[in-house]
Structure 1
């Protein structure tokens, strides 16, 4: 796909090869904010979802890409690959609270459900790092496959998964001992990885083979493959369906989790990447890197119901929706 940025030198270009029907009020506890990393713009957009606009933009630096939210919504954790940093943002104050060096190419990121550990995948060192969320000190590392990208943690907090792009596999790590217990072969160049709420299945978006691998975590093997659009990046789950961002297609492919049949292909902004389901499952939000938008898809109608301008080159790779129980952002 032709790109208006095709001539730009991006700090992390390797990543380009590659957590309710009706109105917002339909959710009993609607998510209010999205924290969108803008890699080209070196910034973080904080989006007021109810108002449908960016409420603030924070300069970050280091070409931020990955994002994860603390379970209580107090902090957003970002990865900046170019500066080799984990950046901690105080969500309420809309300000950077801390920065620390992590590895040589931090990209994917996730937070343990207890909020005590931050997990960062290092693309160049082929490791998963653990950082103590209270002290922001290193809490260990474990070798995984080559070029780990996406990171996911099961809802019970027992297992961590990394999508190892250049090994065509997913590594499985025991969270308690922080040791790698196995791996699962998947499609070509897996990038994003998502685990269902029950911890039964995981889904990888395979950018090299234009498909999604379905992993049975109990069996420890891939049990199915679903063809999707061109260069799939990440997967979100909602209402018994998977929503897959197809970077080069400018689409989101939707397939049924039971039958694995494709239900619809939804046109969105150019170069969709990060995607996440809001609590309650009524909508998924998609960051479109070329369009500079965050877009809302209603999961009942499968229609785009909002397009919100954000910063330049939004990636939002990970969990970027602030939990609904978190305090509201201060008004300008």
Structure 2
């Protein structure tokens, strides 16, 4: 594991073009030092990209166009970065509205689209809608907005072949299915877990892997009918999940437990529980080497801390960990 400046780490993506890891680093609370930090495959530092004016939290990456999309939650917008030049090339907003709680970005490289989750209230709450922004990668503009059939929309995963999007409802405890060709919701499936937060899709096996913070587990579901195949306890605060089809392994970042759980995709046995850092956040995988990269947030000041309160020293926070299968 290595420390990453300026800290305040959130999401991570892998760039297969140069084997770089790109990390959303918003900096310490109360400071304006946002960056897209860059590490080489061996975790040595690269050249970071300055996004201090509008720090980015959630990341989605189009490796074909070398375009990084980041959710700027503070301003209700999406920043578009050309990673080859390190320049912010566009900022996407829903008109003049800066209140949208943008969270995740899922990229369809073939169609050159980006799908942005906007967290709302309960399902069918018109005052706080759960939405998907469909972003046209050619124009960097919102092409349309799709209503999500869940409450407390958080994560998403793409079935590119069938042009479907799976979305998690953290307050409705289910997974919704959206037909992206029509923009219609075609199903909602209960997960049987509490606070499902993120989801990964196995195209070859027709499976969904859902990480649920409330119950600290991994739910394996059939992506055709939503049937629950298996539940695997992983750890407190199971936040994010990634799947590597090359070695059929699932990785779950358990934020409160401080661990990443490795689950075999064949029999769903727990292969390892690895202490990676203070608050494991998100996961990226190098498909060529099977290397796994994890961001770990640090302990920070409470929201009501008096001015001048020193930030806790946390050696295991604001780090990226490399896992070798």
- Superposition TM-score tier, normalisation by shorter sequence: 0.7 to 0.9
- Report the CA distance shift for 1:163/1:58 in structure 2 as closer, same or farther (over 3 A): same
For the residue of structure 2 that corresponds to 1:225, the secondary structure is strand
- Among candidates 124, 131, 136, match of residue 86 of structure 2: 136
Report what 1:184 is aligned to: 146
Separation (CA, whole Å) in 2 of partners of 1:158 and 1:325:
26
Is 1:274 matched with 2:229? no
What's the offset of the Cα at 1:327?
Answer: 9.8
TM-score, normalised with respect to structure 1: 0.76
- After superposition, the CA RMSD in angstroms is 2.3
What's the offset of the Cα at 1:293?
Answer: 1.3
* Runs of 4+ more than 4 Å apart: 325-329
Gap runs ≥5 in structure 2? 28-32, 121-128, 293-321
Report what 2:117 is aligned to: 163
Gap runs ≥5 in structure 1? 1-55
Report what 1:65 is aligned to: 10
Separation (CA, whole Å) in 2 of partners of 1:208 and 1:226:
13
What's the offset of the Cα at 1:102?
Answer: 5.0
Separation (CA, whole Å) in 2 of partners of 1:104 and 1:275:
27
For the residue of structure 1 that corresponds to 2:171, the secondary structure is coil
Report what 2:105 is aligned to: 151
Deviations 1:156-192 (Å, cap 9, x if unpaired)? 1521000001341111111111111111111122111
- Which gives a bigger RCO, structure 1 or 2 (Cα 8 Å, sep 6+)? 1
- Report the CA distance shift for 1:247/1:162 in structure 2 as closer, same or farther (over 3 A): same
TM-score, normalised with respect to structure 2: 0.78
Deviations 1:243-276 (Å, cap 9, x if unpaired)? 1000010111111011211122211111111211
What's the offset of the Cα at 1:236?
Answer: 0.8
Separation (CA, whole Å) in 1 of partners of 2:138 and 2:85:
19
Report what 1:322 is aligned to: 286
For the residue of structure 1 that corresponds to 2:214, the secondary structure is coil
Is the CA contact 1:73–1:325 (under 8 Å) kept in the aligned structure 2? no
Is the CA contact 1:105–1:125 (under 8 Å) kept in the aligned structure 2? no
